[in-house]
Amino acid sequence: GESVGLHLPTLSVQEGDNSIINCAYSNSASDYFIWYKQESGKGPQFIIDIRSNMDKRQGQRVTVLLNKTVKHLSLQIAATQPGDSAVYFCAEIRDNYGQNFVFGPGTRLSVLP
């Protein structure tokens, strides 16, 4: 079936380095993608989104890249900080119907001192 998934379940980076978290999706009809951050004991928190008519969007220290040709999404975090340690999920939405909101399994980011 159609799904959203992640290449790497865990990622460890040195504080100050850049992080790249990847996500693959298989539903070419998806038109909206979101990256969420989830800290232990909390619900997912919106980080950044991107529409299918874009290939790049930048926020504060974060950049999302969308490659529709290979159905790949990535989240780049610049100058990773200890507070960035969390599980990161990508989610795809199709047609803005709630039931078409699909999360991937998540990547745990650990920031080493």
Partner 1 sequence: DTGVSQDPRHKITKRGQNVTFRCDPISEHNRLYWYRQTLGQGPEFLTYFQNEAQLEKSRLLSDRFSAERPKGSFSTLEIQRTEQGDSAMYLCASSLVSGSVDEQFFGPGTRLTVL
Residue 8 interacts with partner 1 (CB under 8 A)?
no
Q: How far is the CB of 36 from partner 1 (least distance, A)?
A: 8
**d(C-alpha 21, C-alpha 16), whole Å:** 16
Residue 104 interacts with partner 1 (CB under 8 A)?
yes
**d(C-alpha 7, C-alpha 71), whole Å:** 12
Q: How far is the CB of 79 from partner 1 (least distance, A)?
A: 25
Q: What are the beta bridge partners of residue 36?
A: 46, 89
Stretch near partner 1 under the rule CB under 8 A, chosen from 41-49, 55-63, 64-72, 75-83: 41-49
Contacts of 57 (CB under 8 A, 6+ apart): 48, 49, 50, 63, 64
Residues that bind partner 1 (CB under 8 A): 4, 9, 32, 34, 36, 41-46, 49, 89, 91, 93, 96-99, 101-106
